Amino acid sequence: MRIRRKMAAMRIDKARRSVILDPVDPDFYNDPYPAYHAIRADLPVFRWEHYGIWCFARFEDVNALLRDRRFGRQILHVASRDELGWAETPQHLKPFYDFESHSLLELEPPVHTRLRSLINRSFLSRQVERLRPAITRLANGLIDRFEGRGEAELLSEFATPIPVIVICDLLGVPTDMAQQLLAWSHDMVAMYQARRDRAIEDRAVKATVAFSAFMRDYITARRKQPKDDLLSALIRAEEQGAKLTEDELVTTAILLLNAGHEATVHALGNGIKCLLEQNIRDGIDEACVEETLRYDPPLHLFTRYALEDLDYAGIRLKKGESVGLMLGAANRDPARFPEPDRFIRNREPNPQVAFGAGIHFCIGAPLARLELQVALPLLFQRLPRLALAEPPRYRNAYHFHGLERLKVEF
């Protein structure tokens, strides 16, 4: 069941090097790739008027900027708010941004280096490989629950529980809290959607406060009864060498829980949809998984700050100015991927950037890859007659490119 959609309304102004494209247009977020091709052909470096930032749609630029140390996720370590012309953080948002200030995702060296080194070992490929049997048991158990019904909603019944339960187990957080953790996480990441209002902000702050309080209490309990899990290892690091403050410990644990499932849920959902539309049911190996990540990645826009005044691709950027790196567009660039709109299951080479690149390359990529490599082939092996029961639609959350639901029959 291949769904053809019309291209989103868009205006490309070459003279002004700008693009008017609404990221909440359903025609766009359901199928952004035609717009990406049009932009890349006419104006690969452009000012996206909705966001008010310069954006890059070519693989060459996105890959280079992800690695360029003149750009970073943090700016206030090299410039003051006054220097940048920024107003103070609104009082009602302070709890959220105070929390974010300790996030590995938002930091630059040397703090980023210190925090990443503490958790990197647990996410190395050889370390996560030991989780393969547990992920296999989990995936089989989930399929057992709906196999006899002949139908299922795979986003909630399969794609969501796998990464949530796996990251909870890895950290040492009780899996019976999974639904609450999911709710808090969804409210927090909503802060990054294309359009947000005060209600979204208030829910994000409320979730941040509640999640942080839960994690502080849980860390206190873990100090008294440490176990063989990542959270206990981080607590030991904090106690032994003052390498980790309690605020950093709380934020890091929550970041791992949030990042450990948000993108992987969408990668699984998008991957299942892709394989069904391509009528691929067997031989789903590592190369095939990589192609699903290239073909329809779960994250489409990632931003960076210019850490100094500089020129790039004919654009003069001021210190503190944001740029947008279009991962989804880069992964469909014909200059890097021949026949980019064709799913080639054994594509080689396949330097897709779904997980980013450079020092902020996704630390959980080995775990996400393993979950996909186990869950996708197992699902199709167990349910050989799997088919879409309705046209799948994507969520109205452009940068997190994932489905609302995935109804199937078998």
Query: What pLDDT sits at residue 392?
Result: 95
Rg (CA), the chain: 21
- Among the ranges given (14-18, 156-160, 395-399), the one the predictor scored with the smallest mean pLDDT: 395-399
Sheet (strand 407-409) strand order? 151-153, 407-409, 387-388
**247 near 95, Cβ under 8 Å?**
no
- The pLDDT mean for the chain works out to 93
- Among the ranges given (79-88, 122-131, 182-191, 294-303), the one the predictor scored with the smallest mean pLDDT: 122-131
Query: What pLDDT sits at residue 5?
Result: 62
Q: How many CB atoms lie within 10 A of CB 375?
A: 27
- pTM for the whole structure: 0.93
Tokens standing for 358?
């450079």
Q: How many CB atoms lie within 10 A of CB 105?
A: 16
Over residues 232-242, the mean pLDDT reads 77
Spans of all domains in the chain: 10-409
Query: What pLDDT sits at residue 242?
Result: 53
Sheet (strand 10-13) strand order? 10-13, 18-21, 45-48, 53-56, 322-326, 301-306, 71-72
pLDDT at 199 over 70: yes
pLDDT at 240 over 90: no
Tokens standing for 127?
């370390």
Query: What pLDDT sits at residue 81?
Result: 94
Over residues 258-266, the mean pLDDT reads 85
pLDDT at 76 over 80: yes
Dump pLDDT digits (tens) for 23-51.
999 999 999 999 999 999 999 999 999 99
Q: Which amino acid is at 373?
A: Q
Give per-residue burial for 332-341: e unless 16+ CB within 10 Å, then b.
bbeebbeebe
Share of the chain above pLDDT 90, in %: 80
Dump pLDDT digits (tens) for 119-142.
887 787 778 999 999 999 999 999
* C-alpha dihedral sign at 87, 88, 92, 93: positive
Q: How far, in Å, CA of 59 to CA of 334, rounded?
A: 9
- Among the ranges given (141-145, 212-216, 256-260, 318-322), the one the predictor scored with the smallest mean pLDDT: 256-260
Dump pLDDT digits (tens) for 294-307.
999 999 999 999 99
Query: What pLDDT sits at residue 1?
Result: 46
Q: How far, in Å, CA of 342 to CA of 391, rounded?
A: 20
Query: What pLDDT sits at residue 241?
Result: 63
Please provide the CATH number assigned to the domain covering 10-409: 1.10.630.10
Query: How, if at all, do strands 315-317 and 407-409 pair?
Result: unpaired
Dump pLDDT digits (tens) for 313-354.
999 999 999 999 999 999 999 999 999 999 999 999 999 999
Q: Cite the DSSP H helix spans in 148-279.
A: 154, 161-171, 178-189, 198-224, 230-241, 246-277
Q: How far, in Å, CA of 187 to CA of 189, rounded?
A: 6
Residues contacting residue 222 through CB under 8 Å, at least 6 positions apart: 172, 231, 232, 235
Tokens standing for 387?
């088919």
Q: Which amino acid is at 124?
A: L
pLDDT at 3 over 80: no
